[in-house]
Amino acid sequence: MNKINIAQKFSLFQEQWQPKIVGELNDSYVKLARLKGEFIWHKHDKEDEMFLVIKGMLTIKLRDGDLTLNEGEFVIIPRGVEHCPFAADEVQVMLLEQKSTVNTGDIQSERTVDNQWI
Amino acid sequence: MNKINIAQKFSLFQEQWQPKIVGELNDSYVKLARLKGEFIWHKHDKEDEMFLVIKGMLTIKLRDGDLTLNEGEFVIIPRGVEHCPFAADEVQVMLLEQKSTVNTGDIQSERTVDNQWI
């Protein structure tokens, strides 16, 4: 059982759109990700997903409008809700997801990545 | 679906050792708590628990030594592991817990509190 320093973990990778696992509890993973630009529209049919902004600004596009998160703000996207993350400048986020969650949800694409610990 | 601003939520309460629910996803609650002083030794037999320090410094006493967390650091206490949170000065923490988790774990005490949304 070790403590995790979020900033130190971010210093270990520069890749964008490739969430890294930094912890697991119960049936969930805690992940860190760098995001920049626009992702793809997708949803998770059976999993809610939490986005917490650590540094920068994140927009979550939703079918009925955009949601903009600044540092220290989070949102929980309920299962079944289509969303598309977007960041004009790079943003650092913490994700909380069920272990079964795939980053692109119901869409298989070249953006789909496997889980990776860091 | 609303975004949650952590600092704004903390401004809504001053009570210590009374975690407030600020979000739910899957089978878990996201909670915020102000802690100061020493809690009680306890464990959660079936639930892992995450402590993320938002502001201040938190010590988690463990039977084999202490763990000290600063802002931007977290630890996941695995199920079954006895722990006792301690903070010399008030610390603001985010907790991630299964919905079934009781703050005092296997100990029923005057420190036991019910879940409360804020």
Structure confidence by residue, pLDDT tens digits, A11-29: 999 999 999 999 999 999 9
Partner residue opposite B26 with nearest CB, options A2, A81, A98: A98
pTM equals 0.95
B83-110 per-position pLDDT tens digit? 999 999 999 999 999 998 888 888 888 8
Question: In the structure, what pLDDT confidence band is assigned to residue A106 with cuts at 50, 70 and 90?
Answer: confident
Per-residue model confidence (pLDDT) at position A69: 98
Per-residue model confidence (pLDDT) at position A102: 85
> Which residue in B has a C-alpha nearest to residue A26's C-alpha?
B48
CB contact under 8 A, A1 and B27: no
Phi-psi region of A105 (alpha: psi -120 to 50; beta: other; left: phi over 0): left
Whether A58 shows a pLDDT value over 90: the answer reads: yes
Per-residue model confidence (pLDDT) at position B114: 86
Question: In the structure, what pLDDT confidence band is assigned to residue B23 with cuts at 50, 70 and 90?
Answer: very high
Whether A89 shows a pLDDT value over 90: the answer reads: yes
The residues near A33 (Cβ < 8 Å, ≥ 6 apart) are A16, A17, A18, A19, A20, A92, A93, A95
Chain B residues touching A81 at Cβ < 8 A: 1
Partner residue opposite A48 with nearest CB, options B26, B74, B75: B26
**Domain boundaries defined on chain A:** 6-98
Q: DSSP assignment, residue A42? A: B
Q: Would you say A83 and A42 are in contact if contact means Cβ atoms under 8 Å apart?
A: yes
B27-67 per-position pLDDT tens digit? 999 999 999 999 999 999 999 999 999 999 999 999 999 99
CATH class, domain A6-98, is mainly beta
Per-residue model confidence (pLDDT) at position A8: 98
ipTM of the complex: 0.94
Per-residue model confidence (pLDDT) at position A115: 86
Q: Would you say B91 and B16 are in contact if contact means Cβ atoms under 8 Å apart?
A: no
Per-residue model confidence (pLDDT) at position A84: 97
On whether any CB of chain B is under 8 Å from the CB of A35, the answer is: no
Give B74→chain A minimum CA distance, Å: 5
On whether any CB of chain B is under 8 Å from the CB of A30, the answer is: yes
Alpha-carbon dihedral sign for residues B96, B99, B105, B106: negative
Partner residue opposite A74 with nearest CB, options B4, B47, B48: B4
On whether any CB of chain A is under 8 Å from the CB of B4, the answer is: yes
Chain B residues touching A76 at Cβ < 8 A: 1, 23-25, 30
Q: Would you say A48 and B26 are in contact if contact means Cβ atoms under 8 Å apart?
A: yes
